[in-house]
Structure 1
Amino acid sequence: MSDPKTVLLCYCTCPNADSAQHLAHALVSESLAACVNRIPAIHSTYRWKGEVTTDTEELLLIKTTVERFEALKERVLALHPYELPELIAVPVACGHTAYLDWVRTAGEG
């Protein structure tokens, strides 16, 4: 992914609505993301420290670009309450051109 203007869709889970809202607001207000959608009450099953655990979490869908991803990642790691937060970025191959252009420019101020 060498094009810094490539739009990314990032996935990040949070333990509750308060932490999700705090993180979403910080990322958008600091121009690290154009938009963050919050999906409440997802159920995650995972192995952590040798135990299989199931929790209810809130999923963030974060829209940003390659050029803003490293700063976004650092901010997520600084603010997130988890010891090992999920942050996965997937490049957007296609979409509504006007929306993708907005994502590209929304972080510019």
Structure 2
Amino acid sequence: MNDKDGFCALLVMTTVPDEASAQKLAHALVERRLAACVHLLPSIRAVYRWQDAIEEATEVAVHIKSVQARYAELEIAIRELHPYDVPEIVAVPIVAGSRDYLEWLKKQVAGGTDIQE
């Protein structure tokens, strides 16, 4: 959600190969205040092309709630912690949501301080 102060909430998505990788990533992002909340959705199937072959794998989907102002740091952290050579990192703006939840999200990622875009 964008507001008059330039705040923009994001849903950032990635996938990892297993629950242990997902747990490690989620905890690190929340501890670093790059994410307010991370949802882990286990046992999804992915079909994709990699190095000229069609591959299929079981993965864990990771949904990260963050803010635009921290996106660059968040992407660096995901790349640092991610086990894949080319991790999926896709961010979409949250265009609407509960005001109370979005205020909570903003405070968690800001570490209790105001975020300026």
Per the normalisation by structure 1, the TM-score is 0.95
Q: CA deviation at 1:108?
A: 2.3
1:23 maps to: 25
* Unmatched segments (≥5 aa) in structure 2: 112-117
Structure 1 unaligned spans of 5+? none
- Look up the match of 2:100: 98
Bigger Rg over Cα: 2
Give the superposition deviation at 1:4.
5.0
Match of 2:85 among 77, 83, 86: 83
Shift of 1:21: 0.4
Paired residue type of 1:99: Y
The alignment-based identity, stated in percent, is 41
Indicate yes or no: 2:74 matched with 1:72.
Answer: yes
SS of the aligned residue for 2:22 comes to: helix
Cα distance, 1:54–1:33 mapped onto 2, change above 3 Å: same
List structure 1 runs of 4+ shifted beyond 4 angstroms.
none
